[in-house]
Amino acid sequence: MIQRTVSFPSLRKLLLRAGCSKSASSKIGTYNCFASQSSPLPSHNPSYRDDEYADVDWDSLGFGLMPTDYMYITKCCEGQNFGQGQLSRYGNIELSPSAGVLNYGQGLFEGTKAYRKENGGLLLFRPEENAIRMKTGAQRMCMASPSIDHFVDALKQTVLANKRWVPPPGKGSLYLRPLLLGTGPVLGLAPAPEYTFLIFASPVRNYFKEGSAPLNLYVEENFDRASSRGTGNVKTISNYAPVLMAQIQAKKRGFSDVLYLDSDTKKNLEEVSSCNIFIAKGKCISTPATNGTILSGITRKSVIEIARDHGYQDGIYNRFWNHLSRAEQYHFRNSNGYY
């Protein structure tokens, strides 16, 4: 549907080319070119496995759940702050049948990754941006949320506890899934009285089976991903199940994923089921504006900043779908995608 008209190097390569290095203040660094700050590592650690890598066929790694050793968990009551959590073995959690997240969808999630460098060091990619986005989402969903420092420190604990699951350089990454859940019991529609902040991890490679190859995207005109003045701009769990029907139908037709239009006019490109989108032509890239229905992606923000540093012109605006020529629409519907 959207042709990759410029060969954009991978984000990780661009970051490394830009001279980013590991922070010296801890075992896990962040990309210093974005002025990320590292918080002190906790003094208490579980008994980690001594072997350097888990028993995984890294060459066959895809994007699927592969449970690791440890997860991080902490709780707080409504109106209070999250205290220091703890690492526990990965496993099931117990929930009341009347938990707010089960009955009314009061929950948020984030997604970020840890990478292994050639020298064995570990990198987190802009974790403070995920923390900020979770706090913004928690405010919208009337939830307590961890502080930015707490969020980042919890990510570091989780990565170090699962270090043997971080793939070798170039073989993938350790995907980290922070969850913020309304776990307290409610019956009537109201904020939950208790919240749980949890992080689990899984080694992964490419999200799409095509890998780094172009994608085929289906432009969806019958289903909406988000509506104006709704929650499309926060990463609430309730935004994702509704896209499954359109996604399944598109995949049955041979497409990789779905590209959505705005719900009000059906004139503007918005985003794909689970990622933002860029349109690239020559030395110019453009992406739809985050106007309340589009999630403000951290990769999106990073691509814009890096592209500017590498001489690309960027435009952030609404792209009119029905103003494209028939030839251009055919090109979108039938060519490969870059997001």
Residues annotated as catalytic are: 235
124 DSSP β-pair partners: 30, 114
316 DSSP β-pair partners: 287
Q: Which two tokens stand for residue 146?
A: 């961890």
**SS3 of the chain: helix, strand, coil, percent, to 5:** 25, 25, 50
Angstrom distance (rounded) from CA 38 to CA 123: 11
Q: Is 330 left (phi over 0), alpha (psi -120 to 50) or beta?
A: alpha
Q: How far is CA 322 from CA 215, 223, 290, in A?
A: 22, 17, 20
Q: How far is CA 271 from CA 258, 295, 324, 335, in A?
A: 8, 9, 17, 17
Phi first, then psi: what are they for 154, rounded to 5°?
-65, -40
Contact call for residues 184 and 193 (beta carbons, < 8 A) = yes
